Amino acid sequence: MWTEHQNFPTNDTQRVKRRRRLMDIRRTVFGIHKRLPTSVPVCETFIYNLSSRERVKIKLNEDRLVDTMQAQATIGQREGGGLDRVALSPADGEVRDWFHEAMLDAGLAVRIDEVGNVFGRREGTELDAPPVLLGSHLDSQPNGGIYDGSLGVVAALETVRTLNDHGIETDHPLEIVNWTDEEGTRFQPAGHASGSSVWVGECEPADAYTTVDSEGVRFGDALERIGYRGNATAAPGEPYEAYLELHIEQGPRLADAEKDIGIVTGIVSRSWGSITFIGEAEHSGTTPMEGRRDALVAAAEMVTAIRRIAAELGENTVGTAGSIEVVPNSINVVPERATVTWGFRDPSDSTVDTARAQLLAEAATVAEREGVEWEYTDRMRTYQVDFSNRCIDSIRRATERHGYGGVELVGGAGHDATSLAKLCDAGMVFAVSENGKSHCPEEYTTWEHCYRAANVLATAAVDLATVDSSRDG
């Protein structure tokens, strides 16, 4: 069931280039020419009694955490800062090689599944105990930051390294994972190529393989090209005890509240779609204003309606008109066709449904008034996710043990944990995002905040990997 995969991509030239690149990273960041030792005491770690969950506190090696974050940030680095490491690109292949080798260095049994999810397993002491899974993603937006996703993967790796350093065994196995294509920015339809979605059964591998990018490249072909179409089935091979994910907040709430840790209680409900108005193209200079059937005028009203509806529904609701497409898009022609997208988010499913219904009702009214036809398409609907009380409690206890300031909040973006919550107990830790920026080179989290959030993740993970860790109901 557990297939150990220790092969780099089969293309010899590609493999040699990547191996040389990995050695360059080691020389630059670590100043060494061989694998790092894993048995040297490198940090202050508190393990008072693993049979007493109330007294477990793990402190990671801050220097090594930062060094590792800096190492991954050199792969796909853009001039002027940030990352361009979109899913299944050459840079994504390179960072997967780096992660693969780092897991082998840490003594993990590595397996790669059929959609490219990469797992590393550290066995526990209890026979047949289900594993606790930690992870996130290493792919980025085309002009993204170095923390989004990567911090969660690096923190999971550093958790295993620290346990190894001090010979600490857990009852349950620990696994770490890099999920494929979390960002969903390359292959369409969006979400069908998400490795975590496939793994929990929301999509089939065949659905992922046939998604295509803007140049017509199929997911399956791109996966083969970078050498990460593995042999393991993209599905859990056994029950899982829990899943934890560390991620930057990607918003300003923690910074505004002057707190260190976000204790995430769930993920918002989302509705995405588009409305298209169909009018009549006419000469913009010779056609009288009266009687025009201007599709863009109708679409413009949707832009303000989306903002107004969100504001009226409450402080937790957000609404965005993300794009407009106009045909023929000429300064000298009355627009014949205009499409505007909507995006509503709120912790409540019913509130999101209300926002969508109000917008469509307004679209019908506007279309009648402007003398145009209209149609709409629902592009995505995800429902609110409540994380398990057990994971929330473990993260809260870990925050308190370290003396950090924490606050409970609902995540406003989609994450791999959204899918994993359908499989097992799941929870998330948020780290502070300075100025709330993300998906851009200006994305920034201080190393101190990275370290604190990683300590909470590690402590909660050991808590959950202890046999007497309490369960919900």
Side chain identity, residue 371: G
Residue 217 main-chain phi, psi, to 5 deg? -80, 130
Written as six digits, the tokens of 469 are 């860790």
pTM: 0.85
CA distances from 437 to 144, 422, 441 (A): 10, 29, 9
d(CA 200, CA 187): 19
- Which pLDDT score is estimated for 149? 95
Instruction: Reduce the DSSP state of residue 130 to 3 states and report it.
Output: coil
CA distances from 88 to 24, 152, 182, 378 (A): 22, 19, 11, 28
- Which pLDDT score is estimated for 472? 45
DSSP class per residue in 179-205: ES-SS--SSBSTTTT-HHHHHTTSS-H
Rg, the chain, Cα only: 24
pLDDT (tens place) for every residue of the chain, 473 residues total: 333 444 444 455 555 556 556 555 554 444 333 333 333 334 455 544 454 545 679 999 999 999 999 999 999 999 988 999 999 999 999 999 999 999 999 999 999 999 999 999 999 999 899 999 999 999 999 999 999 999 999 999 999 999 999 999 999 999 999 999 998 889 988 778 899 999 999 999 999 999 999 999 999 999 999 999 999 999 999 999 999 999 999 999 999 999 999 999 999 999 999 999 999 999 999 999 998 999 999 999 999 999 999 999 999 999 999 999 999 999 999 999 999 999 999 999 999 999 999 999 999 999 999 999 999 999 989 899 999 999 999 999 999 999 999 999 999 988 999 999 999 999 999 999 998 889 899 999 999 999 999 999 999 999 999 986 545 43
DSSP class per residue in 371-430: T-EEEEEEEEEE--EE--HHHHHHHHHHHHHTT--EEEEEE-S--HHHHHTTTSEEEEEE
Q: Do 246 and 155 contact (CB within 8 A), yes or no?
A: yes
d(CA 282, CA 434): 49
Give residue 373's Cα distance to chain centre.
Answer: 38
CA angle 126/127/132 to nearest 5° reads 60
CATH architecture under which domain 273-382 falls:
2-Layer Sandwich (3.30)
d(CA 80, CA 326): 33
CA angle 121/123/129 to nearest 5° reads 110
- Which pLDDT score is estimated for 120? 98
Q: Torsion over CA of 170, 171, 172 and 174, rounded to 10 degrees?
A: 10
Q: Do 97 and 16 contact (CB within 8 A), yes or no?
A: no
d(CA 207, CA 216): 15
- Which pLDDT score is estimated for 185? 87
Residues of the chain with CATH 3.40.630.10: 12-267+385-464
Q: Do 461 and 131 contact (CB within 8 A), yes or no?
A: no
- Which pLDDT score is estimated for 23? 55
d(CA 235, CA 136): 17
Domain 12-267+385-464, CATH number (from 3.30.70.560, 3.40.630.10, 3.10.200.10, 3.30.930.10): 3.40.630.10
- Pairing status of strand 337-346 against strand 269-278: antiparallel
Helices 90-105 and 219-226 sit at what angle, rounded to 10 degrees? 50
